[in-house]
Amino acid sequence: MSSEITAEQAQQELLDEFEMFDNWMDRYQYIIDMGKQLPDFPEEWKTPERKIQGCQSNVWIHHRHEEGVLHFDAVSDAAIVSGLIAVLMRIYNDRPASEIHATSPHFLGDLGLDKHLSPTRSNGLNSMLARIYEVAEQEAA
């Protein structure tokens, strides 16, 4: 799926898509719609060790290493956070640990997400990113 393009290209595609929207209400709706496309997340994966600390809403991230890439599944009980998960998955899912590690999340500033999210949502997004990078680091080691 995402292995056809690099994480950098995925960020650029995302930025291009967001250019289509004139205002943040439309962008938020697009993010929420992306979240509705997330794959199902089995109840048994909702364990304390998979739960992300620092998020106002509940977020769980599950990962596995398959065929040289890291595959992530994640879910949230909040619509906008599910959308943010979908954004992160689009950029970081199904990639080698080294590529994840080498891809800085410049899309946050480029999209203006860092300015348009509440501090608690921003913290949650950063906590999710930190977990993805942490997993990539462990896999690369």
Residues noted as catalytic: 55
Contact 113, 44 (CB under 8 A): no
Neighbours of 131 (CB within 10 A): 21
- Give the contacts of 136 (CB within 8 A, at least 6 positions apart): 70, 97, 98, 100, 101
